[in-house]
Amino acid sequence: MDKKTFIGIIPARYASTRFPGKPLAMIGGKPMIQRVYERVAAVLPEVAVATDDSRIAEAVEAFGGRAVMTSEAHRSGTDRCLEAYRKLGSGADVIINIQGDEPFIAQSQLQSVMDSFDDPQVTIASLARPFDPARGFEALFDPNLVKVVMDDNMNALYFSRSIIPYVRGAEWQQWLDKARFFTHVGLYAYTAETLERICALPQSTLELAESLEQLRWLQGGFRIRMSLTDEPNFGIDTPADLEAANEFINTLR
């Protein structure tokens, strides 16, 4: 069977409640979006930034990257990826959606989601990380840390902001000793046909309850194949995160 071809699309918005202009924030002398782009381009032969702001598009083109303008009305990065894919006229079989605020995304993580498509039954792939018990129960309880449970074939059963699984018959202080927990890493890949289909789905009750778009796909009958990663992720959500990222990059020099 022929190997599938891939395109990496990086959705990037200028507007942000907590951090306006985040994609253009400088990390080690380069805009954050350039850091992400270069990481992805080291693995994928075709990469583009999907944005709704000309300032981001101009910055991408200034460092030699490829940018495509998309609508301001998109409700998610997934929808923005679909418009960009259409506009680019790409013939790639699989679209990888990479968050524009992950300047240190690991090449192994991109490769893992790509490898998932060696199985012809896979139409959506993502990543999970084993939760380190040393981080403690309070970290696991954080609703911003999305949890996931999987079946024996590594297909996602459910994602939640709550702790899953619930450990019956044990005090919460014992949960980390009684069960293994996994957290979700927000990197997605979809076949082109599946991307079209999931973007056409209406918002689902579970998605609205948890504010997690991947629940719309599960509720709509799609499977999400998970791979495990131990690589740390360093998302930039606030100016304080940016400061930490600049300190981190200085340790790599």
pLDDT tens per residue across span 48-86: 999 999 999 999 999 999 999 999 889 889 999 999 999
Q: What is the pTM of this model?
A: 0.94
Q: Mind listing the pLDDT tens digit for each residue in 6-26?
A: 999 999 988 776 788 899 999
Query: How far is the CA of 20 from the CAs of 11, 15, 58, 143, in angstroms?
Result: 15, 5, 17, 23
With bands split at pLDDT 50, 70 and 90, how would you rate the model's confidence at 253? Answer: low
Q: What pLDDT, in 10s, does the model give residues 159-195?
A: 999 999 999 999 998 999 999 999 999 999 999 999 9
pLDDT above 90 covers a percentage of the chain that reads 82
Q: What percent of the chain has pLDDT over 70?
A: 98
How confident is the model over 128-150, as pLDDT tens digits? 999 999 999 999 999 989 999 99
- Give all domains of the chain, ordered by start, each with its CATH number: 1-103 (3.90.550.10), 106-232 (3.90.550.10)
